[in-house]
Structure 1
Amino acid sequence: MVRQGSTQVNGGWSHWDQWIGPPCSATCGNLYKHVTRQRSCTAPPPHFGGSNCTGEDKETITRDCNLVHCPVDGLWAQWAQWNDPPCSWTCGGGSKNVLRQRLCTDPAPQYGGRECQGKAHESLSRSCNVHKCPVNGIWTTWGEWLQHKCSGECGSSSMIVTRSRTCTVQAPEYGGRTCPGDENQSSARNCNPKGCSASGAPQKTGDILILLILASLAVRV
């Protein structure tokens, strides 16, 4: 009951309290939390039949929290292909050191995260060009000259002499070159140097001496 002679006083809200809420659920990352604040219908409170405060005495909102980025640790990407350097030899079995690498980009370390653990490069030795090397042929020394039949029994006669060699000191192998030059040689040589008679027959040694004496006497006369 309203007391006669009293003036009604309608209720009024106090100031809102500070926002309060639980701590953030993590120390980093794009997170949020619910916070609330309150007020009371005490400034002034309703008196003598005055109306109560209108509206809500509590508010709840969502706020971001801990907006710092979380550390991101680095992870390795896939290994790249092995490189292909030239072989140390073109044949006969060589070797080469091959190399491959990987990058710390999957993801790269960020915001204080750790670098990738392990090696960024890897190398190993590989055999290469293991096929046989070409071997070029090498001649033997020339053989003895072989004499063939003289072309005549007297006078200016000749005969053919020949000699040969073989490509066998080292036979060509694995695509090597054969021996350069000729396998056989031939040459003409004089033979049967004694003179022939008027009939064309070979002269005897005595006949030749008589002719030489007669020729000498004829010169003296």
Structure 2
Amino acid sequence: WNQWLPWTQCTLSCGGGTHFRLMVCANSNGSECTRDLFHTDECNAHQCPIDGYWSSWQPWTPCSATCGDGVRRRIRSCIGPLYGGRKCNEDDHESLLCFEENCEHMIAYIIMLTIEYNIAMYYNYANVYVYVFFNS
């Protein structure tokens, strides 16, 4: 009688491993078995899951404000996953508070330029002198 033993465990869980089985051969007349006693086969040929992974961070953006409080941001991308792998965890973006020069100086400067322009207009057309005082 001839009987195959069960297959061994596959050498890989994915990506193409091998397993084998043996035959038990017992001839009642004592003659040798004429069949192969060892059989191999491919197993778990499916693709292995590939988990997603993060790209490098993009550079920080400039501060969103030209004066006062603002925000800088940067992003990254999840590459993959493939074949049932896990998605990237954690955030794909970061924010950072930033502070540019005090806005009061900027506003005062703009007001001063506007007043100087208006003074020049009045002076040229009406010969009017206007004095503007700023508290510092």
Q: Distance in 2 between matches of 1:92 and 1:102?
A: 33
Shift of 1:128: 0.5
Aligned-residue RMSD, C-alpha: 2.9
Structure 2 length-normalised TM: 0.68
Q: Deviations over 1:14-64 (max 9, x none)?
A: xxxxxxxxxxxxxxxxxxxxxxxxxxxxxxxxxxxxxxxxxxxxxxxxxxx
The CA distance in 2 between the partners of 1:117 and 1:99, in whole Å, is 15
TM-score scaled by structure 1?
0.44
- 2:82 is aligned with 1:167: no
Find the residue that maps to 1:97 and give its secondary structure: strand
Between structure 1 and structure 2, the one with the greater Rg is 1
Partner of 1:143: 58
> Offset of 1:147 from its aligned partner?
3.2
Instruction: Indicate whether 1:131 and 2:131 are aligned.
Output: no
Moved >4 Å (runs of 4+): none
Which residue pairs with 2:132 in the alignment? none
Residues of 1 paired with 2:55 and 2:36: CA distance? Answer: 55
Contact preservation (8 Å) 2:63, 2:98? no
SS at match of 1:130: coil
Deviation at 1:102, TM superposition (A): 2.4
* Alignment gaps of 5+ in structure 1: 1-76, 110-114, 205-210, 212-221
Aligned counterpart for 1:182 among listed residues 78, 88, 91: 91
Aligned residues: 112
Cα distance in 2 for partners of 1:101, 1:120 equals 10
- Specify the SS of the correspondent of 2:3: coil
Q: Which protein has greater RCO, CA pairs closer than 8 Å, 6+ apart?
A: 2
SS of 2:58's equivalent in the other structure is coil
Structure 2 residues without counterparts, runs of 5 or longer: 111-135
Cα displacement (A) at 1:148: 5.2
